[in-house]
Amino acid sequence: MARNEVLVDTEWALVHIDDPKIVFVEVDEDTAAYEANHIRGAVGLNWRTELQDGVRRDIIRKESIEALLSAKGIANDDTVVLYGGNNNWFAAYAYWYLKLYGHQDVRLLDGGRKKWELDGLELVSDPTVRPATTYVATEQDRSLRSFRDDVLNAIGTKNLVDVRSPDEYAGRLLAPAHLPQETSQVAGHVPTAVNIPWSKAANDDGTFKSDDELKALYEGAGVDLGKDTIAYCRIGERSSHTWFVLRELLGIQNVTNYDGSWTEYGSLVDVPVAVGDAPGQA
């Protein structure tokens, strides 16, 4: 898929901001940022309350995503342009999510909310009201998702790409450094996983690097892009960012996101764990 079919820049957004068939969707950890202000006409998605099952540890079911998107006024034939904070981590997660449920035309706004703010572009606090739709989702496309057994079977045979920071990979930190370092998991990484932090795919303003730079990044780290690749992080949103880079920008099809990621793997009993800066042995 061509880069311009999955990624739009701020200039494109400004031209299309009032197109009723193009829906801008802000995705954040909580709605505080969206409620304070957002791109004119954008609807908000709450990562925590709207995109997690709430009872099971899982993404929401097909019926729930249909109800959610219908209520937000998103139709099957709308172009959905996602953006958000944290350098588009949660927007990339929502992108993966919408693709999992079969939405055709989904794009990311390059640089997300950060670039929009740093460029001084307009943000409004008016609530957005879109007429409800009757959204119909497909069944989950499991070819985009990996589970814990897929990861265990991939040790030493497939590419495992740990996209967390080097300190989380090595086991010196248990969470990103904007969070307190208290969790129930052990520290470290899946043996044989290489560490290519998501941030190496992005510029300081949150935009993605060029295709040539991105190819050089993964190939330079020894990833054989001809093999199946599983990306993971701590909870699956930073790895959605890398999944987006590999599958959507570079067009490599056999890439999955392990959304259970380290919060699941690091809590499993009787599985191998590597610590330190080296990938470790199978």
Partner 1 sequence: MSSCGAVVGGVSLDHVDVTKQAVIQGVISNSAGPVATGYARLNDANGDFVAEVPLSTRGEFRFFAAPGSWTVVALIPGGTSRTDVTAELGQIADLDITL
Q: How far is CA 5 from the centre of its chain?
A: 17
Cα–Cα dist 111/118, whole Å: 10
Residue 16 in contact with residue 65, Cβ under 8 Å? no
Contact status: 213 vs partner 1 (CB under 8 A): no
**Does residue 117 touch partner 1 according to CB under 8 A?**
yes
Residue closer to partner 1, measured from CB, 173 or 273:
173
Contact set for partner 1, span 17-56 (CB under 8 A): 28-30, 32-33, 47-48, 52
The pattern of x and - marking residues 148 through 167 that bind partner 1 according to CB under 8 A reads -----------------xxx
Residue 38's beta-bridge partner residues?
124
Residue 233 touches partner 1, criterion: CB under 8 A:
yes
In the chain, the amino acid numbered 92 is A
Q: How far is the CB of 186 from partner 1 (least distance, A)?
A: 16
Would you say 158 or 241 has its CB closer to partner 1?
241
The whole-angstrom separation of Cα 262 and Cα 178 is 17
Residue 233 among the catalytic residues:
yes
- Is 192 a binding residue for partner 1 by CB under 8 A? The answer is no
CA distance 54 to 56: 6
Give the x-and-dash track for 86-115 against partner 1 (CB under 8 A).
xx-xx-----------------------x-
CA–CA separation, 76 and 103 (whole Å): 7
Q: How far is the CB of 257 from partner 1 (least distance, A)?
A: 14
The amino acid that residue 167 corresponds to is D
Give the closest residue to 80 by CA, choosing from 168, 187, 68, 266.
Answer: 68
Residue from 191, 197, 266, 279 in contact with partner 1 (CB under 8 A): 197
100: helix, coil or strand?
Answer: helix
CB atoms within 10 A of CB 162: 30
Chain residues in the site for partner 1 (CB under 8 A)? 28-30, 32-33, 47-48, 52, 57, 85-87, 89-90, 114, 117-120, 165-167, 172-173, 175-183, 197, 199-200, 204-205, 233-235, 237-238, 263
The catalytic site residues sit at 233
